[in-house]
Structure 1
């Protein structure tokens, strides 16, 4: 689906070019309810620069782990009783067959939920988050309010989406206590965090915090003495002694942008690039929100599936820019692409009723116009932008 261009606005002269840009940027005012508070920093810092031929960091994307992560996300959409008993059919079975649920987290006000537990088959502590049940309404109601990121190591210029942090903070304290308890019981297990949609944003915030905790890989008095109030980095980094720190692995699906360029730069330095994967699918609109023109920027590393099959692209995104050749290369307004990943639906069950609902989801004209504006801004030729 191509963006709705008006045929009368064909760029033929410098005067026409200026008119097009004025109309495009003026259209942002039309969506005042959607554009609230820009993030700190010059918005031009998020403009995509020229990219190298390959990512500066060699990243190994594990399709099997991605499949398991997706099914943990699917399980998070299942009824609580089914999750607690790990009896949610193929959603649970395709994730792992030997799983003990430690706790379930629900937030009625935000509509998101998740769970934690131990995957004894893989030797991992798992934390999984789902998005909201009504995806179309959530996209429609998504605002762009920001807030300072409350981690002192990130710096005062770091800002994140206020709603995403509120959703994470609503379950944060209990989650941190639970992971510490599981880590004390299984100190050799690694930490596996995953999330879909809004759950992907929560997963990013969770993974960053746990990484800065620098939990030891083997049991020690340090693990016994840690508390939620001690969520400030100990000063030990993975570069100092990575073999003795619990690895944190992150897989997200259809994740929205979480913070600004300062947040992304810092979080990229914290998270291991070999262990964080942002999976996107075809024309999924959610990864394009909140918009880059308002200072938001994705955390690497994107892996884009252009279609429903197993062919994907390892994208060349960095801590200061997103790859224009991956999901940013298409005009993305297909809600069903947000609810279908790796050839399956992201809901608990993919029965006929669920699939019909998925394919009937549509975006509002306001959100489609917003995405069209972002697409046009991203794909306006540089010569046209600088014309006078």
Structure 2
């Protein structure tokens, strides 16, 4: 559904709260700002007044930053790929997008047996599943196994469910840099994203499975992936493996992930994790959140690099999908930041793949002080595990 050119979920509630302020701001001659404000007006329905004002401040912060960046973007069109020798691989991107789609499978049994419809995608059909982990309370799901064509351990995290995407977008607009990342002075992250990986069943199960796979297959590389919230969790997982588990060959590719930390965290992240691709798509709204401002670089969220922006360009009479490799700043003004992130539809579609669940969930973002931890056997948690079987794979090859 479109309102004033904005791609948003349907709704029937009436506008309440600070919509009058938004109306005044929407009279600005900068019509793209009017469109964005109209979108955020739609998600403010029924919000408490103080919460609404906080949200409005966050939106304005992003808008004014974007305006300044659009004015200078033409100065940056010749930026190169930087010093990183990590090369973007189109085939790998398709492969990991297929894994990021498969992890959304609602039927855990079909996912574990690798018989789900999305599991039959051409580049991942021979995947060796080893473990599926589900945290029912916080709607978290991940799997780990081996891609023998890549000689790599694959870890995939599920993202946000379609039924809760609107509420989730509202939540991440307002989240704060409220946790010091352990061992990285000055690096701050959002505690909810951090805790969703570190303080749930996901981390211990994944570390245990990696040890099992390493004992069987030796020093396979590790590739971590995920979409949306799953991309945020994948980021913390990859960094954890390098810093705390001292893994030497870890790659990360995410799709439509939000910002997770401040500028110091982004710089530290790329220091420890040089093999990173952060995929964005057209006008996907989530990579624009939480808001970043070049006016307040030390106190706002900032992306780590390297972004690859999928977008359509006109070639003659046709439209062609372009994979634009962005600069190493993490906030390249010529990539996704050159457009207004106003589309949920673009968020749910990468390379034509469906990146949302095939079932129904009720999800919420974890809110924690970072000291909580789910215990083994919490009611509703699911962990399906098997031993690696290289003999079986050789027989089927």
TM-score range, shorter chain: 0.5 to 0.7
Which residue in the other structure is 2:264 paired with? 262
- Shift, 1:4, TM fit: 8.6
Is contact 2:302–2:331 with CA below 8 Å preserved after alignment? yes
Tell me the distance in 1 between the aligned counterparts of 2:182 and 2:320: 39
Which residue in the other structure is 2:315 paired with? none
Aligned residues: 294
Of 66, 79, 96, 2:93 maps to 66
Of 88, 99, 104, 2:132 maps to 104
- Shift, 1:30, TM fit: 6.7
Which residue in the other structure is 1:304 paired with? 309
Is contact 2:111–2:119 with CA below 8 Å preserved after alignment? no
Q: Could you list the per-position Cα deviations for residues 341-378 of structure 1 after superposition, in whole angstroms to 9, with x for gaps in the alignment?
A: 012221366xxxx9xx9xxxxxxxxxxxxxxxxxxxxx
Which residue in the other structure is 1:137 paired with? 167
Classify the secondary structure of the residue corresponding to 1:166: helix
Structure 1 unpaired stretches of 5+: 12-27, 38-43, 214-230, 234-244, 358-388
Is contact 1:198–1:255 with CA below 8 Å preserved after alignment? yes
Which residue in the other structure is 1:118 paired with? 146
Classify the secondary structure of the residue corresponding to 1:201: helix
Give the 5 Å matches for 1:367-378: none
Is contact 2:177–2:301 with CA below 8 Å preserved after alignment? no
Give the 5 Å matches for 1:44-83: 51=76, 53-57=79-83, 58-78=85-105, 79-83=107-111
Is contact 1:280–1:302 with CA below 8 Å preserved after alignment? yes
Tell me the distance in 2 between the aligned counterparts of 1:73 and 1:94: 14
Which residue in the other structure is 2:335 paired with? 326
Give the 5 Å matches for 1:375-386: none
- Shift, 1:88, TM fit: 1.4
Give the 5 Å matches for 1:1-388: 1=5, 9=28, 31-32=52-53, 34=55, 51=76, 53-57=79-83, 58-78=85-105, 79-133=107-161, 134=163, 135-142=165-172, 143-152=174-183, 154-155=184-185, 157-169=186-198, 170=200, 171-213=202-244, 231=245, 246-272=248-274, 275-293=275-293, 295-307=300-312, 309-318=320-329, 321-347=330-356
Summarize the Cα distance change of 1:106–1:30 in structure 2 as closer, same or farther, 3 Å threshold: closer
Tell me the distance in 1 between the aligned counterparts of 2:56 and 2:192: 14
Summarize the Cα distance change of 1:145–1:89 in structure 2 as closer, same or farther, 3 Å threshold: same
Query: What RMSD over aligned residues (CA atoms) do the two structures have, in Å?
Result: 3.2
Structure 2 unpaired stretches of 5+: 7-21, 31-48, 59-64, 294-298, 313-318, 361-397
Structure 1 residue ranges (4+ consecutive) displaced by more than 6 angstroms after TM superposition: 2-5, 47-50
Is contact 2:82–2:328 with CA below 8 Å preserved after alignment? no
Structure-2-length-normalised TM-score: 0.66
